[in-house]
Amino acid sequence: MRQVKHLNDNEWRDLHSSCQLVLRKWIEILNNKAAGKFPTKVTAFHAEMAVHGKYKQPCPDCGKPVQRIRYASNECNYCAQCQNQGKLLADRGLSRLLKKDWPKTLEELDQ
C-alpha cells in the first residue's frame, strides 16, 4: 500500500494497465453471468474475487488470512503478505483502541 503521490512513472503505468486488465476481466465475468439478460441479483461480492469480502479467509495466492480496514460503515479487504510486504495496516477502530499494542505484522497478530 502506497499513496499514489509516491508512485513513479513506471508504477503509474503498471497501476493503470493492471486496473484496465482487472476491469476487463470483471466485465467479461459479469457479462457471462448475466447471460444476455438484465441481472436480477446485484452484489459487490463474488466468489471469484481474491480478497474482497473474504476477511479471515486464506489468500488464494499465499494462504495467509485476509485482513481488513474499517472506515465509517465500509470495509476494505487486503492480503498483508501479498499487498503490503507482510505489514498490517492500521484499522481506525481497533488500532486506536490498542495504540502501541496494535500488531504491525502477521507474525505479531498470531501472537
C-alpha cell at 74: 465500509
Query: How would you class 99 by CB atoms within 10 Å of its CB: exposed for 0-12, middle for 13-18, buried for 19 or more?
Result: exposed
Site string for Zn ion, 72-111 (x = CB under 5 A): -------x-xx-----------------------------
Tell me: does residue 51 bind Zn ion (CB under 5 A). Answer: no
Positive/negative CA dihedral, 62, 24, 43, 94: positive
Q: Which stretch binds Zn ion (CB under 5 A): 3-11, 21-29, 54-62, 86-94?
A: 54-62
Give the interface with Zn ion as residue ranges (CB under 5 A): 59, 61-62, 79, 81-82
